[in-house]
């Protein structure tokens, strides 16, 4: 039984480059009101999302993808796209913004955890001090109760 090559959905490098160039031209064309690169790969070319994800793994295609991503992203910043929609997509079209925001969120989360730990330590110390005072007072009361009375 002959073994065949595993199936792949990407194309040879020269076709991936041609597809990348075509995508950049498509998103640059002002007639195409592109909201997402899926407008190109799904509507214009008929590719599935899984096929698209495979294309993004091809080194020949990646520079064109990033260029097209920035072109579409500019439309979200320059007011071409409504602000309420644009805000939602900034993290998608600008991965560096996403990374920066994620780092900020992680940093703030770590600060909160450290602060909570410090507060918990102080609360624990305070409770411990109160409990020690109560115990000391109870011990003092027991000593007073145990002493025999000297009244006669």
* CA 110 to each of CA 5, 58, 124, 140: distance values in angstroms, whole numbers, following the listed order: 48, 36, 21, 45
pLDDT for position 151: 61
Give the domain ranges of the chain: 13-93, 95-145
Cβ atoms of 44 and 26 within 8 Å: the answer is yes
H or E stretch including 89? Answer: helix 83-93
CA distance 8 to 29: 30
Q: What pTM does this model have?
A: 0.59
Give residue for tokens 């294309």.
55
Tens digits of residue pLDDT in 30-71: 888 888 899 999 999 999 999 999 999 999 999 999 999 989
């Amino acid at each position: 039984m002959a073994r065949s090559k595993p199936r792949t959905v990407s194309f040879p490098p020269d076709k991936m480059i041609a597809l990348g160039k075509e995508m950049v031209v498509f998103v640059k064309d002002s007639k195409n009101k592109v909201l997402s690169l899926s407008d190109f790969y799904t509507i214009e070319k008929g590719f599935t999302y899984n096929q698209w994800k495979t294309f993004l793994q091809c080194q020949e295609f990646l520079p064109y993808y990033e260029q097209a991503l920035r072109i579409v992203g500019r439309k979200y910043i320059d007011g071409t796209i409504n602000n309420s929609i644009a805000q939602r997509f900034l993290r998608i079209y600008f991965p560096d913004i996403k990374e920066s925001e994620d780092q900020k969120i992680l940093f703030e989360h770590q600060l909160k955890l450290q602060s909570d730990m410090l507060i918990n330590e102080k609360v624990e110390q305070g409770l411990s001090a109160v409990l020690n005072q109560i115990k000391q007072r109870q011990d003092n009361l027991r000593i007073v109760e145990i002493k025999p009375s000297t009244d006669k």
